[in-house]
Structure 1
Amino acid sequence: MTAYSIMMPFAPARSHQILPYAALTQWSTAHRLWQGQADISDPNQTFVFAAASGFRVPVGTGVLLMPNRHPATAAQLAQTLAMTTGHPVVAGYGPGAEALQRSLLGRPYRSPLTATREYLTIMRGLLAGERVEYEGEYFSCRFALRPVPSPPVEVGVGVLGPAMARVAGELADVAITWLVPAAHLRDVIVPALREGAEAAGRPVPRLVSIVPVALDTDGRDLPDVVIAGHSGHLRLPHYATMLRRCGIDIDTADPRAAATALIKGGAFLGGGLADVREQLRHHADAGADEIALNLSGVHVRHGETTALRELHMILEEVTA
């Protein structure tokens, strides 16, 4: 059965801003609380603050960016987070956009796939309690984490296309998608995950689909909600490329046309409760083991109270 989770709809500028969403995760049918990369605050620390405030819930990072930290640091932070929350953690990472790689590293990864393989290999080894002796093109490690009693950490990777999905199949515990329509999951991502897993002789990773969604209430302008929450991602070349491969033509010069295309193409879900439930079912049928509800556009345009209320309504609808 597909689990339903909550995606933090904004990057908290103050740690206490996560608490209403952590509370909703703890008190509702939500499976996990997710947070992505943030320029303002680090999700690991924000999750620790929530746990220290009394909201010890399963959490996941979807996804943090590899150029920001060494994989040994990433593994240690994830292990610490699992100890603090008392729940399993999904530590999701990805190479990020080429512009970010150049900004932080001086030049982009020659091969993002190779860099990701190295990153996941080091993280998995350390979290398995091994002493890792690894010399890679981008990452090297001669280190071991001290073994401590802790809930497990699942190593995740952000996936948009078949090549990275095969890498996830080979090495990751969890594949994490963002803005990916259900048909692309079914026809491209899931087969590539299976291909990578079969080549490595290991189980197929769990698939987590982070899905942008909004209820189409009276007077709400859905394209405006899309622009409010996702205009940044629509400007990134790797997202535009993925969407075009899905048949969704994104015109970055016309944000409203791009937002409308996103809705029509099924990358952004909107409608009444029954409509949203049906659209989410398509993601489950396509192979998503977990769906994280992302109401970032609602939060930006209509505020926290509305976003929390709609999250609760959708969770009640899909888990009834």
Structure 2
Amino acid sequence: MEIGVYVGGAGLSLDEMIGQVRAAAEAGLDSAFLSQLTAWDALTVLALVGREVPGIGLGTAVVQTYPRHPLALASQALTAQVATGNRLTLGVGPSHPPIIEGQFGYPYDRPARHVREYLSALRPLLRGEQVEYRGETLTAAGRVDVPGATSPSVLISALGPVMLRIAGELADGTVTVWTGPEAVADHIVPAITRAAEQAGRPAPRVVATVMVSVTADPDGIRRRVTEQVGSAARFPSYRSLLDRQGKSGVHETVVAGDETVVARAIRRYAEAGATELVVSAVGDERERASTLDVLASARL
């Protein structure tokens, strides 16, 4: 199982994000991922990071689909692919109604159909092919030509059965969130693997993202997570996943404790079938540094 990190954070400068990726690379980690929120543009940052930090894999988890037409996203992703030396993983997803409808003003209609049609247009565009796609939720006609770009690996944020089936059929894998190792083993891996096999596709990537802290105060870390992102449990897709796991909130998916606790949790994700673990280090500067040390040791 490969191990990577999320980079970024509130108020960070571009140089600070580049520094986080460089630290991950120097620690021997496999990848660094950025999320697409309402601050820095993830693909633009990765294009810049790729020129500064060699070797390490770079990815998004995830870029929202509804506000970005497949032609526009293909152009942006292939540009970043060239800038990073073809090290990009493109993670995409439909996001959630409060974001797509409340912030962007787009109707959040038929998200599974939307994702299926979006991938049907996006994947050939990323291969440099001419596309004439007219579906129920989108139309895409054209071609994106970026010399030197290879098609990046594409992940989707699939958590439920329908989206996991789409991921297995049309994407290279899934990127999960708020998912413990038991759910990875019992739900995520079987569903996406079965779909990929039935579609005659290669074994899928299962990229599990998790908040982790090497800390002497695990309860304090979980309280902090609840204060900062606890409202995520109200999103229907996350609520369904948490209910499937018997968890009351996202804080219960956080891995927090001493080095032994964290190392054990990392092994459990590997045993569950995750092909990659992407860690968001939580805590103060010392706790985050200790977390990075444990991740580097686990990678050896």
Taking the aligned partners of 2:140 and 2:36, their CA distance within structure 1 comes to 24
The answer as to 2:209 corresponding to 1:210 is yes
- Partner of 1:68: helix, strand, or coil? coil
Identity %: 26
Q: CA deviation at 1:16?
A: 2.0
Equivalent positions of 1:193-232 (< 5 A) are 193-217=192-216, 221-232=220-231
Taking the aligned partners of 1:187 and 1:96, their CA distance within structure 2 comes to 24
Of 164-173 and 96-105, more deviation after overlay is shown by 96-105
Taking the aligned partners of 2:182 and 2:286, their CA distance within structure 1 comes to 30
- The one-letter code matched in structure 2 to 1:286 is A
Equivalent positions of 1:130-279 (< 5 A) are 130-146=129-145, 148-217=147-216, 221-250=220-249, 259=251, 262=252, 267-279=253-265
Taking the aligned partners of 1:81 and 1:239, their CA distance within structure 2 comes to 30
Counterpart contact for 1:29–1:315, Cα < 8 Å: no
Q: Give the counterpart of 2:53 among 37, 52, 55.
A: 55
Q: Deviations over 1:87-118 (max 9, x none)?
A: 42111111111222323244221x21110011
Q: Which residue of 2 aligns with 1:318?
A: 298
Taking the aligned partners of 1:20 and 1:89, their CA distance within structure 2 comes to 18
Q: Which runs of 4+ in 1 moved over 4 A?
A: none
Taking the aligned partners of 1:39 and 1:157, their CA distance within structure 2 comes to 19
Taking the aligned partners of 2:237 and 2:75, their CA distance within structure 1 comes to 29
- Partner of 2:247: helix, strand, or coil? coil
When the two structures are aligned, how many residues end up with a matched partner?
Answer: 298
Taking the aligned partners of 1:82 and 1:12, their CA distance within structure 2 comes to 26
- Partner of 2:132: helix, strand, or coil? strand
Distance 1:93 1:219, change over 3 A: closer
Q: Please give the TM-score of this superposition, normalised by the length of structure 2.
A: 0.92
- The one-letter code matched in structure 2 to 1:55 is V
Q: Deviations over 1:272-301 (max 9, x none)?
A: 112111111111111111101111x32xxx
- The RMSD of aligned alpha carbons is 2.0
Equivalent positions of 1:105-120 (< 5 A) are 105-109=105-109, 111-120=110-119
Q: CA deviation at 1:212?
A: 0.9
Q: CA deviation at 1:122?
A: 1.2
Q: Please give the TM-score of this superposition, normalised by the length of structure 1.
A: 0.86
Taking the aligned partners of 1:269 and 1:162, their CA distance within structure 2 comes to 25
- The one-letter code matched in structure 2 to 1:24 is A
Q: Which residue of 2 aligns with 1:98?
A: 97
Q: Deviations over 1:57-104 (max 9, x none)?
A: 421100111122111211111111111011421111111112223232
- The one-letter code matched in structure 1 to 2:143 is A
